[in-house]
Structure 1
Amino acid sequence: MPTSSGAPPAPARVGRTLPDVRLYQTLRTAHLERAHELSPATILYGVRRYDFDEDAARGLDLVQASGLKSALLLLRSPVRRIEINEPLMLSSLPSTAWALAALSLRGVLRRGRAQVVTYCIGNTDPFRQGPRRGGLRGLRTRLRRALDRVVARRVWARVDRVVFGTPAARDVYGEVLGRPPRAEVSTILALSTPHPVTAPEAEQRPLGVTFLGALMERKGVRVLLAAWPLVRERVPGATLLVLGKGPLEGEMREVAAGDGSIEVLVDPARRVIHEQLARTAVLALPSQPSPTWREQIGLPIVEALSHGCRVVATDETGLASWLRESGHRISEPATSPEALAAAIVASLEGGPSRAEVLATLPPVDARLLADDFLFERVREPVAS
């Protein structure tokens, strides 16, 4: 059974050494970094994301398996509690359903019931996405969505504890699936604590704007490039740093080669990302509307806030309301270069200071608080 390089061999039975299990469809570096702080659990996952960091995986109990294979592992494992992918994540719904079916069968055979918990940040109804098609293909799509809705409701009914990461997610789940019939529910806004990496004042870029994320259309890099000349007209000293990787790498490099105010770093190390965020004034993540996807939170937003950056985003993120209320800028409409440029200029010219941004963050990382609720762990109070 494959495991991460450097990690200990996978146990013969999932949950034998760690009776709690986390079920992931995809595993990325941010998950690995956080797992070291969460309640100990075996991580059962399907695929690795492009940014999977082998070093961050060391010391974690990782087991790679998907679909029926993961269900078979769970069937013969002494699992006490399992954290599943959120029910409105349709790409992982079949694996989740198989896993819960295996645990239910195991419960009947061994008279033991595993507790099911989940962390939800989905902020759009997946059953309304995409254009309606006619013909046989359209019929298949409608039947698949109808089946997915039935399965999602059954999974939702099996949940014992749930945490919503944003009010937007809570509202969407309420509209689509209703209140989970048996679950204890909490809403904990998905914000991080201040990051320990800081930069001396002399190294900070007061007119620096950073884009961090996948270099693809839906993340808004093209609309950002269209807005950038308008920003430079208003703020001639502004600079743009693009951090990430993806299908638009070549286009980003080409634009940067002809514009001295733009720098592109492809696939930078995590250390470099945090060093750059500690220097920048504004993070821009203009996520774009899509028929099949919506920015749930935006990890770059959370990480930028942890460094005290002002944020420019669109109302696609589930944090949009909080960002507005906290003095950050929301570009409306999301697709307009002019609106985005105006929001960036306003953020460069004013807004909350770095200290004021940091003061809005919680004393304990929200994902850790959510995990404490889900896994019923009592955390020691933070020293003042």
Structure 2
Amino acid sequence: MTAEPLLRHVQMYDVARTAHFERALRSGAHTTILFASRRYDFDEVLARAVAARRAGVWGAFWYTLRNDVDVLETAEPLVARAAPRTLAAVFGTRLRRLIGGPRTRVVAYAIENKDPWQGHESLPLYARLKLRAQLGLLPLVWRQLDRIAYGTDQCAILYNSRFPAARRSHRRPEERTVAALPAAEAVGGPRDAVVTFLGDFSHRKGFDHVRQAWPLVAADRSDAKLVLMGKGGGVREAEGLAESLTSVRAVIDPDRDTLFAELAGTKVLVLPSQPRPRWREQVGLPIVEGLGRGCIIVTTSETGLAGWLSANGHYVISPPDDVDALAGALLRALADPRSPADVVAELPAVDGRVEAERWMLRAPEPATR
């Protein structure tokens, strides 16, 4: 019995991060990652392990022209700056097919939560003109797709508003929503009153709001501890708060083992994301990683998972900039009697991103007459 040939899968990312490489290593497919730029949490060792490579428009075109690709997973279709690279890669697969290459299926995983046609009024003239040209390519990107998986309901609503059924008659991909939730993991028993902020020390991630809210929390809960874990422009402020308050500890730029060890001792994960003119929290990787390790979540209505979190007993703040509401939510979360096992009991058996990828990579059903 001959083994099935390994699926040749190319993933395109506008911005690559460590989690992308970890997922590729767990995948059963032969995955190659092409990326345009790096996120702050870019692991060089893992990048080499998956042979990730930087590729602009021409690099993406030449790669797909020279290599057989069974499934091309594009960057997020509503990321305007990624559109030229996506179309170049698709064009490369089309040309390769003319010289005997395979028929490449084009798929996408989407979690975008901000309409790209909004919020760019304040950009300089040249940047506005460039963005408008890129936005003009998005309907063409849409028409290349065979399948698209949405990671949140809010994302699906956004795509349906921008590509309504009446405009999809030319080429309509298969669509499916799979919540971007982690799989349930084995967790320990009750935890101490530890709150962890994980991520970029920036205003958009709500770092400033956590700093302002914490004295209100500490005044009410003398046993509560705050861990500030991450890196970014606010490192100095994180270290300064840790030096001035005994209830605060800073963990700067942790490796993945340290990160997961800290989460294993965390009761409450806080990520109070704030809206920006051209950005909105899509999901929030810290939220996903915290849920998977049994943390109660305190966040804002900005995340695409806000609906699921509210429905499952987590704490979602609206409006997102209310510091008093943030302090109150943290206190309620610390007093929440649920154990880590109770938190993960609400999670799916299979990681949502993994389930979405399995569906995207699955061979289409044979056409019936």
TM-score when normalising by structure 2: 0.90
| Cα offset, 1:327, TM superposition | 0.3
User: In the alignment, does 2:31 pair up with 1:41?
Assistant: yes
Does structure 1 retain, via aligned residues, the 8 Å contact 2:71–2:104? yes
State the AA in 1 paired with 2:158: V
Does structure 2 retain, via aligned residues, the 8 Å contact 1:127–1:145? no
Q: Distance in 1 between matches of 2:43 and 2:363?
A: 28
State the AA in 2 paired with 1:252: A
User: In the alignment, does 2:252 pair up with 1:260?
Assistant: no
Equivalence map 1:303-322=2 (5 Å)? 303-322=289-308
Q: In the alignment, what sits opposite 2:367?
A: none
User: In the alignment, does 2:66 pair up with 1:76?
Assistant: yes
| Cα offset, 1:329, TM superposition | 0.4
State the AA in 1 paired with 2:9: D
| Cα offset, 1:177, TM superposition | 2.5
1:244 maps to which of 230, 239, 242: 230
Equivalence map 1:21-170=2 (5 Å)? 21-38=10-27, 39-57=29-47, 59-110=49-100, 112-132=102-122, 137-138=124-125, 140-170=126-156
| Cα offset, 1:143, TM superposition | 3.7
State the AA in 1 paired with 2:103: R
State the AA in 1 paired with 2:24: A
Does structure 2 retain, via aligned residues, the 8 Å contact 1:329–1:347? yes
> Which SS does the other structure have where 1:373 is aligned?
helix
Does structure 1 retain, via aligned residues, the 8 Å contact 2:114–2:278? no
Percent identity of equivalent pairs = 37
> Which SS does the other structure have where 2:200 is aligned?
coil
TM-superposition CA deviations, 1:305-342 (whole Å, max 9, x none)? 01111000001100001000000001121112111111
1:216 maps to which of 193, 202, 222: 202
Q: In the alignment, what sits opposite 1:335?
A: 321
Q: Distance in 2 between matches of 1:346 and 1:338?
A: 12
> Which SS does the other structure have where 2:267 is aligned?
strand
1:276 maps to which of 262, 268, 272: 262
User: In the alignment, does 2:172 pair up with 1:172?
Assistant: no
> Structure 1 residues 99, 261: closer, same or farther in 2, change over 3 A?
same
| Cα offset, 1:244, TM superposition | 0.1
TM-superposition CA deviations, 1:210-232 (whole Å, max 9, x none)? 00001111111101101111112
Does structure 1 retain, via aligned residues, the 8 Å contact 2:36–2:54? yes
- Runs of 4+ in structure 1 off by over 6 angstroms are none
State the AA in 2 paired with 1:47: S
Q: In the alignment, what sits opposite 2:173?
A: 183
> Which SS does the other structure have where 1:213 is aligned?
strand
User: In the alignment, does 2:296 pair up with 1:296?
Assistant: no
The range that moved more, 244-253 or 18-27, is 18-27
Does structure 1 retain, via aligned residues, the 8 Å contact 2:80–2:131? no
Q: Unaligned stretches of 5+ in structure 2?
A: 365-369
Q: Distance in 1 between matches of 2:240 and 2:32?
A: 44
Q: Distance in 2 between matches of 1:43 and 1:142?
A: 30
CA-atom RMSD in angstroms: 2.2
Q: In the alignment, what sits opposite 1:194?
A: 184
State the AA in 1 paired with 2:17: R
**Count of paired positions:** 355
> Which SS does the other structure have where 1:280 is aligned?
coil
